[in-house]
Amino acid sequence: MTNALSILFCLTLMYLAVTTRLSSYVLILVFEGILVAGVYTVSFFEHFSATHLVIAGAVLLFRTILIPSYMVKIIRDLDMGHRDRTHRYHPGFLLQISGLIMVALLLSYQFSHMTPVLVIPLGTALAGIFSGGLLIVRRRLLLAHVVGFLIIENGLFLLGVGLKAEMPWVIELGAFLDLFVLVFLMGIAMNHLKSHFPEGAGEDLTTLRD
Amino acid sequence: MIGFFILGLIIHVAAMALPAVQRHDGQLNRAVNLLNTVALVLGLIFSVHSLLTFQLWDTRFPLPFVGTIHLACDGITLFFLFTFQLLSVAGSVYAIGYLEHYVKGGVNIRWHLVSFTLLILSLQLILVVQHALVFLTAWELMAVSAYFSIVLEKDKPEVRRGGFWYFVATHASALFLYLFFVVLHDRTGSWDFADIAGQSGWDSGTLALLLVSGFLGFAIKAGFMPFHSWLPNAHPAAPAHISGLLSAINIKVGIYGIMRMFMFFPTGPEIFGWTLLAAALISAIGGVWYALAQHEIKRLLAYHSVENVGIIGLGLAMAWLGRCLGAPSLVALGLAGALLHTLNHAIFKALLFFGAGNVYLETHTGEIDKLGGLAKTLPVTGVGFLIGAVSICGLPPFNGFISEFLIYKSFFQGGNLMGGLVPLVLLVSAVGLAFVGGLAVACFTKLYGIVFLGEKRLKLPEQPGHEAVSSYPVLLGLATLCVWIGFAPGVVLSLVAPAISQISGIPTAQLGGELIAPLGGLTPVFALLLAMTLLILGIKVWTQKRVGVRLLETWGCGYQSVTARMQYTASGFAEELIQLGQPMLGLKLRWKPIAQVLPEPRMFKSHCFDQIEEGLWVRLNRTIGRVLMLLRWIQSGNIRHYVLYIFAALIVYLIIAFVW
Amino acid sequence: MFTIPLLLALPLLAIGFTARSRSLEKSHLATLATAMGHLAATFYLLVAQRNPFAANMWFGIDPLGSFFLLILSHTFLAVALYSPGFLQRMQKPEYSASRRLYYPALNSYLLANTLVIITQHFSLLWVVLELTTFSLAPLIYFYRSKESLEVVWKYLFLVSLGLVFLLIGILALGLAAKGAGEHASLLLADLMRDGAQLDPLWVKVGFVFALVGISAKIGLAPMHPADIDATSNAPGPVAALMAGSLRSTAMLVLLRFYEVASHTSVREFSQRLLMIAGAFSLLVSAVYIWRSRDYKRLLAYSSVEHLGIITLSTGVGGAAMLGALLHTLFNSFGKIALFFMAGRINRDLQTREISSVQGLMTRLPWSGFAFGLAFFYIVGTPPSGIFFSELLMLQGMVHAQNWVLLGIFLVLLMIIFIGMSRAVLRMLQNPWRSAASASEPRERFHLAHAVSFYVLAVSLPIAIFQPDFLFGPLRSILAAFGFSL
Amino acid sequence: MVTFSSNPVSWLLFLTVLGGAPLLSGIVNKFKARMAGRFGASVLQPYFDLVKLARKESVYSRSSGFITRLAPSLVWSTTALALLLLPVGPFFAAISFDGDFILLAYLLGLGRFLQILAALDVASSFEGMGASREARFAVFAEPIFFFTFGSMALVTGRFSLQSIVSGIAWDKPLFPIFMIVSSISIFFLMITECSRMPVDDPNTHLELTMIHEVMILDASGFDLMLYQHAASLKLLLYAFLISSLLNPFGRLNPVAGVTLFAGVLVVLAACLAAIEILMARFRLVLVPQFLLYATVIGVLNILIFTFSR
């Protein structure tokens, strides 16, 4: 079951690679949020507890409702509607992502020899983390960076599952990051972007350098 | 007796506090310098008395962490203390008159006075301190204070540049010394010089590391080639009294350090002696040859400091070799030469720099080719400078001759002691020293002849000579010292004796017989020379009174309209010798060749740059900059790159963790 | 048991009060009181050397914690003293919001950092680390300009990205702890107790991820860029706060992981990794210090350099580790003075270009003098404290016979010295080429100068007399890391 | 230990040498004239010149200062004092001590120093030229001296001219060769220092070509006399050096010693004259090579000696 969901997660990553619409990014986020919550619940099914339920709920709340809606709002505010195509679209991106996924799965397979892990979820998690990073590196819109950041978080979540780390309050803390992202990265920063950068809002910032 | 010294130090501190209360710059200048002079004279009483009565003084007082601070005056310390105090007296008295002109010019000299006093103070502290940490502290105090004394005219960019050379060089030497003392501490477990000196049985690796780091540290300070480049840059930048003291005593701290290394490693390897010899010879020849090519008085004198440090190094090397051979008499000869030359060089170099300072005050330029005939306008400076010039060439009957004579003797004696090809090597070094002497003669005949003799080459503002009256006693006193040490070296040698006997192990009484008496015998010879000169001079004056004397124009070989511009110039005087020095000396000649038949305006420029400075240090600086430039893309300002770095670092670390 | 309220409750109250009070004076007094109370408690803890918390609680104060508490609250007191002098110049209307936010943010910063230092449980540690970033954001964003927006964005983004990795590191620690059996937990004490049973593989992974994650906060290359921007564009007191205490707090977190690692078989590896990371940061800082145009950025790079030195010699261990700990303290002293003075110079001369700083010593004699003094302090001219700590590091390297590292260390120090002195001496000596020489009033002595002189002076007695309340803890820290002097 | 010879003969000899010095240059000139086929001036001509000069009034340049007035006496007295350090044939040197040859070299150096300054003192471009040349050649001349006498000191293991001369072991096969070769390099030195052909032409009249003569262009009267006499003293000094080095009899057989000594002097004079007849002046750029050549001879000499011992 977890494996199936993980595979789906990988597929979302593939889609991430081919699309360039901010709106479709948001869709991906929603879908991934559901997947992650699902994997989480399933993986702890046998010894299920209230905390797990709470966490799963929180994740669903943040990742499928709050953040996406907020993102849509921002897209409207900064009217990125008419130029929601991130620049320098590049077919190689798909190859890179899929390569990443291969490598990640391979790694986690190798890893499974050293220590007991769930191969597929672990691989997916690694793939998520690295492709999130890759997204940040490859896309110039700040919002895309946030998306990448959230994808890394999803990967982190899966990681906890894949490594079978039944530690109280470790992965769960990840939820805090959502709050953080919500409040700061988007709340403060994005809102001020408009006032400071009348045109080209949301492009990445590169004035401070040596 | 020690009370005098301590009182002196206290007075120095008081002098440093003075600028806070005294508002008027002129009075402040006089007050501070006079206070320093008094303090130094007190210290001088202490050092001379304890040198002559051979009282060594030693005390420790406990402090936490740094352990017991160990202050001691052994023979070496006392001799250097004597030298430093003597010359600092001269410097302080000279500064009174010299700084007067800056005060008139509205330059703010308060910081300068403070750092000048601090420089003198720290120089004395370095010598008496026998504890590594406090030594390093005093060392850095000296470095920083000297830097701030150099950049008095800090509005001029070239002054800042020169000062920066010093700043960097001295910090480099400090880093080497950190390494040196840390390794010593690691092996001996103590910061105390006495304990370190007591240590024996070094393993060869450690010894090599120690010798290299220590020598580099002290050599950079002393200005051995190729670490000399800060001298010719810092000296012209500094005001005259500072550049005088820089050459006279500041670089001697390096020599003092090498003497300390003698104490630390009683059984050093012979190879170090040979290395020292080579370095010294290179510095001596290179220094004087570069000096010959200079067009600026202070720069020229700075290169001569390199040369003289080299000569001192020759003596030290002989001493080291003598100790390896177990020949105390050779050690004594070498050390006597080295230490005496340390004192002598301090004296005549200060004399020359102060003279150059007076020239600068008079003409406001240091360009040799613009000057001329100053011996008439600046009589006292002229005489003093002449005596300094003769002494620095090591000509009898002045003090330079005595020390070089000792070093020559040490070469020949060493040649007798050692077999195989060693005598040849020493012979070659002796010939090298003679060669240096010849070049020095060429260089100083050029300097004195062009600057002080002949006619003015440049229209100077017609005004009475600017010679600061306070510089008369200094110049004349130093000149007298040159003559006196030359004629009667005995007394000064007895000042050196404690240090020598401390290292060579020969009792002072025996030294008196072996070392001092023979040189004492030179006195009648020089007296005879003087007598003959006076006699013939007398006869001449008598005859000339009979047959009469006439004043006429210089014989122009038939050419009538001779102008001052037609005099031989400094660059012309030295040009062929410099040509022979190619390509070691980078000589740039630029001129407009004769094109048309009819005469047209023409120019000729010759500029000699320092191959080591340009080719080594400046290039090193440029190379470092270029290499670092290669990494300059890191701070690209693009957050996507930063994210990439994070992942890259993660992967690299993981590779280190699991693959390497 | 008054220390816990002093350490935690007081800042909390201060946050509440300053958030509600309208007058800056009152908030200032409250903050000052908090700082003093905090400092008093810290001193008490240092001297008494006892843990006010029950054993095996999620909070606890060990020698390491108390030492870093000292750094934190000392820096905080200095900043609190300087704050009114800073705020009274920020009268522009666009700053009003920032002014109101200033003191609450300051106090919450204190609270968050205190929590980081006294937390013994790694998961909790991670949470409170988040809090420090939260509290700092409004301070960095004080000027509300384009640049500060960019800065705050970059800083928050990179630091939180780093925190993701830190979380992975903690996760790995948890997995490692699984090997220890039933009583396994993420409490520091337990982890150290079970050092032998911890799964070295996971400890290794954990250490690597923790290093990468926390580097963004410490400012270790190559995760330093955001730190540079933040430190150089934040207002003077905030920059001093970051360079003086935030980075050392982050360093403490790294030390916690190192502490765990050093009780397992991963010890050598972690030491090697620390050396590499430190040396690389030293190199990178040298790259930018060599020819620097902007003196605030220069100072930022200098603190990258010093954190690099600290990391490097922590890896060397032994005397070098003692040097590293002392260096953390002395570096925070120096950075306080440097950033205060840089802030004043920037305000009065209206420039951050080194080349356009003119006549500093004539226009701002006090600030110029203090700045120069702080420069000589930070490059380790004896008798500054930095000299002693760096000497200790050299001793450690020589004793470990790590000649390669020693060579790299000395060469890079020399390069950095040249670059830094080139810049600073130019600032100090550049003559004033302007007609308005006479018009400007002479700068008067200010509290900031007093603070700077104090922090520069205080390191010497510490280095020389080695007060036992400080060196007792230091020795037990070294013992805890398995070094003996 | 400096020893002043107790033997009055050494001191008397010194006085006679002072008196007899011009004779040598006279002899050289006579030889020259004879080889050129002229009858030539009398051997005593130099004396007449000196007396004539001493009687003339002195003319000083307006540009000149105290150096010009001081230098001649110092040049003279340094050269004279240097003569005192020489052992003359079988007789002891008046003054002798370890390393006295160093003093000798430096005394001549002092004289040279002042002469150069005196040349620069009168602000004449010609004399400046001469001064520069003198300084340049001195740089290469001094090493020859030190090399030769240094190697002798090392070979004999003694440090004073007196003891070196008496310390030469003529019975050993190596020594004669060594001595002869070294005296050759001293002869080169002599040619340079005494401004003889082919380095310098003592009796040209074109200032641009001269070295020594051009430096004393502005000297006159008693000063010029002193310069001339000092020059002849210098010539004699080098001649004495060579001839006491090539004197196997030494003190064993005074009569033979003295005769040989005198003989060598005459031969040297003849050689000088012959060279001046047969050779033209070198181009000035060649002079350093000429001197280096002399040094190289010395180097080979000492090398051969060391290796074959």
What are B402-438's pLDDT values in tens digits?
Answer: 999 999 999 999 988 887 788 889 999 999 999 999 9
Token pair for C262: 């050093």
Check residue D51 and give its pLDDT.
94
Confidence grade of residue B232 (pLDDT, cut at 50, 70, 90): very high
d(CA C194, CA D196): 98
Of the candidates C216, C284, C395, the beta carbon closest to that of B185 is on: C395
Q: Which of C301, C363, C410 to mutate to test the interface with B (most CBs of B within 10 A)?
A: C410
Mean pLDDT of D233-257: 83
The model's pLDDT over B337-377, given as tens digits with 9 standing for 90+, comes to 999 999 999 999 999 999 999 999 888 888 998 888 889 88
Examine chains D and A and say if they touch (3+ CB pairs below 8 A). no
pLDDT digits (tens, 9 = 90+) for D275-301: 988 888 888 888 888 888 888 888 888
Task: Tell which residue, B308, B300, B311, has the closest CA to residue B447.
Answer: B300
pLDDT attached to residue D250 = 63
Question: Residues A40-93: pLDDT tens digits?
Answer: 888 776 666 777 777 788 888 888 888 888 888 888 877 665 554 555 556 788
> Cβ A133–B640 below 8 Å, yes or no?
no
Q: What dihedral do alpha carbons C227, C230, C231, C236 form, nearest 10°?
A: -170
Partners of residue A130 in chain B, C-beta under 8 Å:
647
CA atoms within 13 A on the CB side of A17: 21
Q: Could you tell me which of C209, C201, C179, C205 has the C-alpha nearest to residue C191?
A: C179
Partner-chain contact B646 A137, CB within 8 Å: no
The per-residue pLDDT for B611 is: 86
Q: Which of D98, D113, D123 sits opposite B445 (nearest CB)?
A: D113
Q: Going by C-beta distance under 8 Å and a sequence separation of 6 or more, which residues neighbour residue C381?
A: B140, B144, C387
- Cβ neighbours of D67 in B, within 8 Å: 375, 386, 453
Q: pLDDT grade, residue B461 (50/70/90)?
A: low
Flag whether pLDDT at A177 surpasses 60.
Answer: yes
DSSP helix/strand/coil, A171: helix
Min Cα separation C33/chain B (Å): 35
Asked whether the beta carbons of B79 and B136 are under 8 A apart, the reply is no
Stretch among A152-156, B460-464, B486-490 having the lowest mean pLDDT: B460-464
**Nearest residue in A to B647, CA atom:** A133
Residue of B nearest to D2 (CA): B521
Is it the case that residue C440 has pLDDT exceeding 70? no
Q: Which of A138, A139, A204 has its CB closest to that of B638?
A: A204
- Number of cross-chain residue pairs from A and B with Cβ atoms under 8 Å apart: 35
Every domain of chain C and the residues it spans: 268-485
In this complex, is the C-beta atom of D222 within 8 Å of any C-beta atom belonging to chain B? yes
DSSP, residue by residue, C1-34: --HHIIIIIHHHHHHHHHHH---HHHHHHHHHHH
Q: For the segment C35-80, what is each residue's pLDDT rounded down to a tens digit? A: 999 999 999 998 888 788 877 788 889 899 999 999 999 999 999 9
The answer to whether residue B614 scores a pLDDT higher than 90 is no
Give the pLDDT of residue D79.
Answer: 95
Could you say which DSSP state residue B468 is in? -
Per-residue pLDDT, A173 = 65
Hey, which chains touch A, using 3+ CB pairs under 8 Å? B, C
Among B61, B68, B167, B186, most C C-beta atoms within 10 A, so best to mutate, is B186
Q: In the 3-class helix/strand/coil scheme, how is C376-442 assigned residue by residue? A: HHHCCCCCCHHHHHHHHHHHHHHHCCCHHHHHHHHHHHHHHHHHHHHHHHHHHHCCCCCHHHCCCCC
Mutation target to probe the B interface, by most B beta carbons within 10 A, among C153, C270, C425, C427 is C425
Helices (H), C49-187: 63-87, 96-118, 122-140, 146-178
Q: Is residue B456 predicted with pLDDT exceeding 90?
A: no
Interface of C with A in 65-124 (CB under 8 A): 123
Q: B540 and D73 in contact by Cβ < 8 A?
A: yes
Q: Is the confidence at residue C389, as pLDDT, over 50?
A: yes
Asked if C150 has any chain A CB less than 8 Å from its own CB, the reply is yes
In 10 A of CB D20, how many CB atoms?
Answer: 13
Rounded distance between C-alpha atoms, residue B617 and residue B252, angstroms:
23
Reference D148, options D116, D117, D105, D97; nearest CA is D105
Residues of A with CB under 8 A from a CB of B: 130, 133, 136-140, 145, 204-210
Torsion angle in degrees (nearest 10) through CA of B170, B176, B182, B183? -160
Option in A160, A163, A180 nearest C130 (CB): A180
The shortest CB-CB distance from C284 to any of B64, B167, B631 is to B631
Task: Name residues 274-293 of chain C within 8 A of A (Cβ).
Answer: 288, 292
Which residues in chain A are contacts of B644 at CB distance < 8 A? 133, 137
Question: What pLDDT does residue C345 have?
Answer: 93
Position C396 scores a pLDDT of 95
Q: Taking the domains of chain B in order of start, what are their residue ranges? A: 316-458+467-543, 586-658
* C201/A173 Cβ within 8 A: no
Query: Are A204 and B635 within 8 A, CB to CB?
Result: no
Mean pLDDT of chain B: 90
Q: How distant is the Cα of B122 from the closest Cα of chain C, in angstroms? A: 13
Nearest-CB residue to A204 (from B632, B640, B647): B640
Contact A142, A190 (CB under 8 A): yes
- Please tell me which of the candidates B635, B643, B644 has its beta carbon nearest to residue A209: B635
CB-CB neighbors (< 8 A) of B137 in chain C: 382-383, 387
Percent of chain B residues past pLDDT 70, beyond the cut: 98
Distance CA B329, CA B326 (A): 9
Is the CB of residue D102 less than 8 Å away from at least one CB of chain B? yes
Amino acid at A12: T
Q: Cis ω on the peptide bond leading into residue B379 (within 30° of 0)?
A: no
Contact yes or no for B644 and A130 at CB 8 A: no
Q: How far is B597 from chain D (nearest CA, A)?
A: 24
Q: Which residues of A touch B638 (CB under 8 A)?
A: 204, 206, 209
Specify the pLDDT at position A84.
47
Greater model confidence, C213 or A177? C213
Residue D303 forms contact with B (CB below 8 Å): yes
Q: Do the chains contact at D109 and B441, CB–CB below 8 Å?
A: yes
* Cβ contacts of B444 on chain D, cutoff 8 Å: 113
Distance from CA of C462 to the nearest CA of A (A): 37
Q: Nearest-CA residue of chain B relative to A129?
A: B647
User: Cβ separation of C175 and A165 shorter than 8 Å?
Assistant: yes
Chain D from 232 to 291: CB within 8 A of any B CB: 285, 288
pTM of the prediction?
A: 0.93
Instruction: Mutate one of D102, D213, D291 to test the B interface: name it (highest B CB count within 10 A).
Output: D102
Q: What tens digit of pLDDT does each residue of B313-322 get?
A: 999 999 999 9
Judging contacts by C-beta atoms under 8 Å, the chain C residues touching residue B152 are: none
Average the pLDDT over D119-134 and give the result: 88
Q: What's the average model confidence in pLDDT over B255-261?
A: 94
Rounded distance, CA A157 to CA A150, Å? 11
